[in-house]
Amino acid sequence: MELAARLRSQGFWSRLKKEWAFWLLARVDPYVAHRQLRRLQALR
């Protein structure tokens, strides 16, 4: 399936959820991973 056809077949809410999931992973996850790494290093 081509990208344009796939985008047309998705509804508004489906696209919004995918955009939100991407933003969450791109922005929040590195911050959380960094905090966890610092905690692990502090335990050593």
| Mean model confidence pLDDT for the chain | 87
Q: What percent of the chain has pLDDT over 90?
A: 52
17 lies in which domain range?
3-43
pLDDT at 19: 92
Length of the chain: 44
| Stretches in the chain below the pLDDT threshold 50 | none
Residue 32 CA to residue 23 CA, distance in Å, equals 14
Query: Into how many domains does the chain fold?
Result: 1
What's the Cα-to-Cα distance from 29 to each of 8, 19, 26, 36, 40, rounded to whole Å?
29, 15, 6, 11, 17
pTM of this prediction?
0.50
pLDDT at 1: 58
Residue 16 CA to residue 34 CA, distance in Å, equals 27
